[in-house]
Amino acid sequence: MKSGVVYTETVVHAAPEQFVADAPYQLAIVSLEDGGRLTVRVDGERVVIGDRVEFVEERNGISFFRKA
């Protein structure tokens, strides 16, 4: 399972057309344990920089992570 640490995060209030129904939602850049960084959607509880997160699922090509 993919996991990592939140490098940075933001909450999207003015979403693109295909995600308007989801707004507001949180995006994060995660520093993965196996190297590299990935931009992800946050599922569930809000995260902050430094939080450990884990992969939940992929929906329509978007990776969803949650607080570990």
Identity of the residue numbered 48: V
| Residue 47: Cβ within 10 Å count | 21
The pTM score is 0.91
| pLDDT reported for residue 54 | 98
CA distance 44 to 39: 16
Encode pLDDT of 1-39 as tens digits. Answer: 699 999 999 999 999 999 999 999 999 999 999 999 999
- Read off the pLDDT band of 62 (50, 70, 90): very high
Q: Is the peptide bond before 16 cis (omega within 30 degrees of 0)?
A: no
The values of phi and psi at residue 50, to 5°, are 95, -15
| pLDDT reported for residue 7 | 98
DSSP 8-state secondary structure symbol assigned to residue 45: S
Are the C-beta atoms of residues 4 and 29 closer than 8 Å to each other?
A: no
Query: Is residue 44's pLDDT more than 90?
Result: yes
